[in-house]
Amino acid sequence: MTRQPRLEIEYCTQCRWLMRAAWTAQELLTTFPQELGEVALMPATGGVFDIRLDGETLWSRKAEGGFAEIPLLKQLVRDRIAPGRKLGHSDRKDPAPEQPTD
């Protein structure tokens, strides 16, 4: 009964990152309520904080350190499931290199 697009937030319970994971889920579901099929909160251990969309890793604490900024996550999700969407103040200030400039 899984629905796609499926966003996974895997978090370390030992690090007490449930609230952070749930907050991240709410931010993304607030922005993409019609585009996201589901957001899965997945308890794990060992310092994990990973965010995946349909199997693609969007962000991993082990690789990138610290925590993902919510506006960045929204951009990464938007680019994949709602490319035409404007994100208001969450949108990137500097256009990505591959985008045409005005």
Q: Is 1 in the site for a copy of itself (CB under 8 A)?
A: yes
Q: Which of 15, 22, 76, 82 binds a copy of itself (CB under 8 A)?
A: 22
Give the C-alpha distances (Å, rounded to integers) separating 49 from 52, 70, 81.
10, 14, 22
CB of 65 to a copy of itself, least distance (A): 24
Helix H or strand E encompassing 9 = strand 6-12
Locate 46 and state its tokens. 């060992």
Residue 12 neighbours by CB distance under 10 Å = 19
Contact between 40 and a copy of itself by CB under 8 A: the answer reads yes
Nearer to a copy of itself, 22 or 87 (CB): 22
Pairing outcome for strands 56-60 and 49-53: antiparallel
Note whether 41 binds a copy of itself by CB under 8 A: yes
Alpha helix ranges (H) inside 32-92: 61-64, 70-81
Task: By CB under 8 A, name the one of 4, 5, 15, 26 that touches a copy of itself.
Answer: 26
The contact set with a copy of itself (CB under 8 A) reads 1-3, 6, 8, 13, 18-19, 22, 25-26, 29-30, 33-34, 36-43, 52, 55
